[in-house]
Amino acid sequence: MSTTVNAYGAPKAGAPLEPVTIERRDVGPHDVKLDILYCGICHSDLHFAGGDFGPLPVEPLVPGHEIVGVVTEVGDQVTKHRIGDRVGIGCMVDSCRECENCLRGDEQYCLNGHTLVFGAADRDGSFTQGGYSQAVVANEDFVLRVPESLTPASAAPLLCAGITVYAPLKKWGAAPGKRVAVVGLGGLGHMGVKLAKAMGAEVTVLSRSEDKREAALALGADAYHATGDGQAFEKLANTFDIILNTVSAPIDLNAHLGILRIDGTLVSVGVSTEPLPLDVFALMTNGRNISGSQFAGIRETQEMLDFCAEHGVTADIELVRADQINEAYERMLASDVRYRFVIDNATLA
Ligand code: NAP
Ligand code: ZN
Ligand code: ZN
């Protein structure tokens, strides 16, 4: 027996999302069930639903991986969560827990493949479906505690946008005395600004045009440069310790490498579906590094949520109804979002 819940899903790759119903499994011994309060809209949802990553693995596909909800049911072996707890689910709902990468807490790099929260084959052979829905059932180990001091709707984007930038900023040493450039001021980018500032770094925003200058400085950025005409790259040569690329399209890798100072690192979390040309001389100069990062493991995601509670960091959001999801997608493609759309899941009722 399963439960039928209302959701919003893409019937075909690239087609507008529409109301659908999906099944949620019964709560197993190690599962928790949550009523979803809010779900953020990440650009990865657009890539998936739009077919950028290939044909849809399941039709309809219900996206959504920035989930905040309240626990309504727990399995009889569950120890981590209780009914009534405010919790979150991010990009993953399972992994093998046995491989070298899982054992060091990097379940996102599970050598046997992590299970994404939507569009992935689950252990029971069904396909996972995401957070644009009324409720979800998941293993307790992949469910996070969302501190009560965080406003739930603005905390939802932390489950992907927040952790995806927190992990590489921390890994590459964002701290007082370090200069961080955030490339692209969307959902991930604005969290990059807030979190790099909270870590004590000096933060510069690199955006395509002048449009977001005031907004970036209001978020706490120390400096802002429009990169559209290319001149900023000359002015900024030899400046940054860390460049965090959050752009949802190809970037000029070599121009960005050129503004790293000695030992600096360009880390990409933004997805280009095309390969990017790399000039090895741009990499060798200053002994530069290039890296990538995919969300993070569960332990670090919990650490990030607790860090955000301690530093009062959440996302700047625009709350939307479920019937506004397609409009939100169009506005994101036009970079018209300050800075994250979050679905009020009560509107799925
Ligand atoms: P978003 O809110 O749409 O922001 C993307 C930003 O990229 C835009 O605000 C814009 O910044 C810039 N941009 C967009 N199109 C561009 C173009 N054609 N050329 C140059 N710049 C462009 O997206 P998001 O939700 O932050 O996600 C950003 C990317 O990260 C997506 O590709 C997403 O799939 C990826 N992602 C990766 C992970 C991971 O684990 N690695 C996790 C989550 C998301 P400006 O207007 O300031 O120029
Ligand atoms: Zn995401
Ligand atoms: Zn594993």
Residue 113 has pLDDT above 80, yes or no: yes
Does the C-beta of 8 come closer than 6 Å to ligand 1? no
Residue 58 DSSP one-character state: S
Q: Atom 40 in ligand 1: which residue has the minimum CA distance?
A: 294
Give the tens place of pLDDT for each residue, 250-268: 999 999 999 999 999 999 9
Confidence of residue 140 (pLDDT cuts 50, 70, 90): very high
Q: Atom 8 in ligand 1: which residue has the minimum CA distance?
A: 186
Which atom of ligand 1 is least distant from the CA of 41? 25
| Per-residue confidence (pLDDT) for residue 305, from 0 to 100 | 98
Confidence of residue 282 (pLDDT cuts 50, 70, 90): very high
Residue 64 has pLDDT above 80, yes or no: yes
| Per-residue confidence (pLDDT) for residue 124, from 0 to 100 | 82
Mean pLDDT of 79-97: 98
| Per-residue confidence (pLDDT) for residue 187, from 0 to 100 | 98
Query: Around ion ligand 2, which residues have CB less than 5 A away?
Result: 42, 44, 160
Mean pLDDT of 44-51: 97
Does the C-beta of 155 come closer than 6 Å to ligand 1? no
Mean pLDDT of 294-301: 98
- Taking the whole predicted model, whether its pTM rises above 0.75 is answered as yes
Place of tokens 């997608």: 329
What SS3 class is residue 121? Answer: strand
Query: What is the C-alpha separation between 338 and 315, in angstroms, rounded?
Result: 9
| Per-residue confidence (pLDDT) for residue 123, from 0 to 100 | 81
Residue 1 has pLDDT above 80, yes or no: no
Contacts of 200-209 with C-beta under 8 Å, sequence gap 24+, read 200/174, 200/175, 200/176, 201/169, 201/174, 201/175, 201/176, 201/242, 202/178, 204/179, 204/180, 204/236, 204/239, 204/240, 205/181, 206/181, 206/182, 206/232, 207/183
| Per-residue confidence (pLDDT) for residue 230, from 0 to 100 | 86
Which atom of ligand 1 is least distant from the CA of 269? 41
Q: What percentage of the chain carries pLDDT values higher than 70?
A: 100
Residue 270 has pLDDT above 80, yes or no: yes
Average pLDDT taken over every residue of the chain: 97
| Per-residue confidence (pLDDT) for residue 125, from 0 to 100 | 86
